[in-house]
């Protein structure tokens, strides 16, 4: 199972929207967004998010 939930096409459409909303363009923004989507999809606790997505307190 792939951990990536965003295709390149979806990400290319989402990124300008995030920038327009003033979301800070940090180094791993895509992984951060994917981590948030992972949590929403699975319903897991923030502390249980796989480290692949970054630290839970950074998401």
R_g of the chain, CA atoms, integer Å: 12
Distances (CA, A) of 4 to 7, 10, 26, 53: 7, 11, 18, 10
Query: In the chain, where are the structural domains located?
Result: 26-58
pLDDT per residue, tens digit, the chain (59 aa), is 456 689 999 999 999 999 999 988 788 899 999 999 999 999 999 999 999 888 888 87
pTM of the predicted model, to two decimals? Answer: 0.80
């Amino acid at each position: 199972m792939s951990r990536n939930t965003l295709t390149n096409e979806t990400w290319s459409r989402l990124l300008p929207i995030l920038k327009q909303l003033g979301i800070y363009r940090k180094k791993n923004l895509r992984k951060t967004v994917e981590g948030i989507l992972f949590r929403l999809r699975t319903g897991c606790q923030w502390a249980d998010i796989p480290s692949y997505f970054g630290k839970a307190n950074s998401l």
